[in-house]
Amino acid sequence: MLVARREKELAIAATRSGPAAISVVADVTKRTDHARVVEAAIGKLGHIDVWVNNAGRGISRNVSELTDEDFDDMMLVNVKSALYGMQAVLPHFRERGAGHLINVSSMLGRVPFAPIRSAYSASKHALNALTACLRLELAPTHPGIHVSSVHPGVVAT
C-alpha cells in the first residue's frame, strides 16, 4: 500500500510498483488521514505487517534565521506526522502482538554537522527520541512489535 498526498505522482508510483499495488491519497500531517489509511489497509489486505513513516521536508536556515513558521512546519511534517502514524497503527500491532514500525530519520538527526539544516536536524533528533522511547515502551509487554529508525545520508528528492 502506497500513501501520498499528490494523487498524480502516487498513481505513477503505484503503476511502477506493479498490479498488486494499492494507493491511498492522504495528508499524513492530519491525524484523521492516518486512521483512514489504517482502515483501508486492513480492509484491503487483512492486516498490516510493516508501517513506514517516511514523510519529511527540509529547509535551509541557520538557527538565527528561523521563523516560527519554519520551525512549526518542520515539526509538523517531520515529527508529528510520524507520531500520528505510530499512534494509528499501534492498536492493530498490539492486537496482533506483532508488527514492525519504521521511522525514516536522517544522519543529521544523529550528528548535526550542517548549521544551515538546523530545524531539520532538530526535528530528526525529536523523531529519534520518540522512536527510541516507543521501542522501550513496547519491549516489556509486546516483544513481537519491532520499532526501528533508518538514518540515510544525503538523498536527492
CB atoms within 10 A of CB 157: 5
The span from the CA of 148 to the CA of 103, in Å, is: 6
Residue whose C-alpha cell reads 513481537 in the numeric block: 144
Element (H, E) at 24: strand 23-25
CB 73 within 8 A of CB 122: no
Q: What angle do CA 11, 13, 19 make, to 5 degrees?
A: 80
Which grid coordinates belong to 57? 521536508
The span from the CA of 100 to the CA of 93, in Å, is: 8
Helix %, strand %, coil % of the chain (to 5):
50, 15, 30
Residues designated catalytic: 120
